[in-house]
Amino acid sequence: MPESIPAPLIIDTLKDTFREARGASAREPLGWILSVPDTHQKTVLAALDKERALRVVTCATEDEANAIGAGLWIGGEPCVLMIQHAGLYASVNTLRGVSMDGRVPMFYLIGLLSRERDREPRESRHSMVRFCSPLLNTFGVPHAIMEGPDDVHFIPEYFRLSRERRGPAAVLVGLETS
Amino acid sequence: MAMKPEDVLRAIAAARGDAICVPTMTTSPAWRTLAPDDLSIGCVGFMGGASSLGLGLALATPTRRVIVFDGDGSLLMQLGSLATIAGAAPRNLTHLLFKNGVYHTSGAQEIPGGLTVDFVTMAKGAGYRKAYAVTELDDFKRRLPSMLTDEGPLLVELHTGLADKTPMTDRSGVPFNQQVDNLRTRLTKAG
């Protein structure tokens, strides 16, 4: 059965991921969180409010988050986009234009809001849960789903992958964070 | 009489120093002729994204001025970026809005609201540090130095006519991914 992941574990993992990305030049802020607030990851967002090592930019849309992320990466700054499946659907043209055609590494944490604990996402009653992975597959975006605390290793792995392949990569957050 | 976009861009090219410039749509063809360097990056393939791309660049390079050459139709596609920019409050961002009231690239259809849309009021309402309109080239040239040094975010609504070329009539230029590489190399090498 999937388990909820505690916010501090995700934040510590993000910090380690950014430290690795910066290498010897690690400094604060370690990295940037570009967020379009997501109910599913609200405990992480609340905890980020108290963080000094990570800087959060709240965006009005996921389209903006993609373009801001491109500017940050071009300027040498690491970032993560925290969005929801519905925001992915809303912003696929920008994902395509910026990250795929522009070959800009972009790493997404995507909340699967309304995903049922007792069902695989592909069997969800909710289309917004069901279509996320197929959409990412259509666009050739590598992704994995975190089904519990043991899966947070996907965060650095897929962050790294986005950089190696110079494009998008995503980790889906299976259950609401705690 | 509305300003010619090419005249405005020519004045910026002469004054920008090492500022990063982010043209989009009808400013792109003229700008790549006037400033064929790797400190510019055109918003190509994701219309409406210039202001956000500029914000990301401004946050990443706080000691360098970033100038966005936005369009009125383009900004309307991501109007929320005004609030996002104001919230992030980059002091080094100058947001120039080339206002002509139409989607010039796609055939000059009128934008919603046409020329009556007041972007100055919207930018102020969103929380920009400063916003004003400029209608005359001489006034633009006179105020340009402060546009490039005043604390941002700053929006200037420029009342312009139509550019001679659009991205559809002049398809030359470096592909977006190459522009990304060129600018990133330039910025990260600069340390």
Residues of chain B in contact with residue A73, where contact means CB-CB under 8 angstroms, are 56, 60, 184
Distance from CA of A1 to the nearest CA of B (A): 38
The tally of domains found in chain B comes to 1
B59·A32 Cβ contact <8 A: yes
Residue B66 lies in a domain: yes
For chain A, 178 residues long, the average pLDDT of each consecutive 10-residue run is 96 97 88 95 95 96 98 97 98 96 97 96 97 98 98 98 98 96
Fold of A7-173: Rossmann fold (3.40.50)
Residues A159 and B124: their CA atoms lie apart, in Å, by 37
| Mean pLDDT value across chain B | 94
Look at residues B12, B5, B10, B32 and name the one whose alpha carbon lies nearest to residue B176: B32
Give the integer Cα–Cα distance in Å for A7 and B113. 45
CA distances from A18 to A24, A54, A67, A127, B97 (A): 11, 9, 19, 33, 35
Q: Give the closest of B44, B84, B183 to A74, CB-based.
A: B183
- Among A6-20, B29-43, B63-77, B117-131, the minimum mean pLDDT is found in B29-43
- In the structure encoding, which two tokens stand for residue B90, read together? 């980059």
Mean pLDDT of B63-88: 97
**pLDDT given for residue B190 in this prediction:** 55
As a whole number of angstroms, the distance between CA B100 and CA B164 comes to 13
The alpha-carbon gap from B13 to the nearest alpha carbon of chain A, in Å, equals 21
Query: Is B140 within a domain?
Result: yes
Region of residue A76 (left: phi > 0; alpha: psi -120 to 50; beta: else): left
Chain B partners of A77 at a C-beta cutoff of 8 Å? 59-60
Domain contains B191: no
Q: Are A141 and A114 in contact (CB under 8 A)?
A: no
As beta bridge partners, residue A169 has A107
Contact A77 B83 (CB under 8 A): no
Interface A:B, Cβ pairs < 8 A: 113
**A75–B53: do the CB atoms touch at under 8 Å?**
no
- Please list, in sequence order, all residues whose beta carbon lies within 8 angstroms of the beta carbon of residue B135, skipping any fewer than 6 positions away: B2, B3, B159
Distance from the Cα of B19 to chain A's closest Cα (Å) equals 13
CATH number, domain at B136?
3.40.50.970
pLDDT value for B26 = 87
A127 burial class (0-12, 13-18, 19+ CB within 10 angstroms)?
Answer: exposed
Radius of gyration of chain A (CA): 15
Distance CA B171, CA A138 (A): 29
Query: Which one has a higher pLDDT value, A106 or B44?
Result: A106
Spatial distance between the Cα atoms of B23 and B31, rounded to a whole number of angstroms: 7
Interchain contact, B187 vs A75, CB within 8 Å: yes
- What is the ipTM for the molecules in this complex? 0.97
* Nearest residue of chain B to residue A102 (CA atoms): B177
Helix (H/G/I), strand (E/B), else coil: A142: coil
**Which chain A residues are closer than 8 Å to B43 by Cβ?**
67
For B2-23, the pLDDT digits (tens) are 999 999 999 999 999 999 999 9
Per CB-CB distance under 8 Å, the chain A contacts of B44 are 97
Tens digit of each residue's pLDDT (9 = 90 or more) over B154-168: 999 999 998 888 888
Q: What residue numbers bound the domain in which B134 lies?
A: 5-186
pLDDT of residue A70: 98
SS3 string, chain B, reads CCECHHHHHHHHHHHCCCCEEEEECCHHHHHHHHCCCCCECCECCCCCCHHHHHHHHHHHCCCCCEEEEEEHHHHHHCCCHHHHHHHHCCCCEEEEEEECCEECCCCCEECCCHHHCCHHHHHHHHCCCEEEEECCHHHHHHHHHHHCCCCCCEEEEEEECCCCCCCCCCCCCCCHHHHHHHHHHHHHHCC
Token pair in block for residue B164: 């001679």
Interchain proximity A75–B80, CB inside 8 Å: no
Joined together, the tokens standing for residue A51 give: 């963080």
Contact in structure between B156 and B131 (CB atoms under 8 Å)? yes
Establish if B101 belongs to a structural domain.
yes
Q: How many CA atoms lie within 13 A of A178 on its CB side?
A: 9
Q: Hey, are the CB atoms on B84 and A59 less than 8 Å from each other?
A: yes
Under an 8 A CB cutoff, do B56 and A98 touch? no
Mark yes or no for CB contact B59/A76 under 8 Å: no
Cβ neighbour number for residue B121 with a 10 Å cutoff = 12
Residue B48 contacts A where some CB pair is shorter than 8 Å: yes
The string of DSSP codes covering A48-78 is HTT-SSEEEEE-SSHHHHHHHHHHHHHTT--
Q: Do A71 and B180 touch (CB under 8 A)?
A: no
pLDDT score for A45: 96
Does some domain include residue B138?
A: yes
B59 in a domain, yes or no? Answer: yes
Q: Determine whether the interchain pair B52/A76 forms a contact, defined as Cβ–Cβ distance below 8 Å.
A: no
What integer pLDDT is reported at residue B25 of this predicted model? 87
pTM above 0.95, yes or no: yes
Q: What's at A167, amino acid-wise?
A: G
pLDDT at A100: 97
Residue B159 CB-half CA count within 13 A: 16
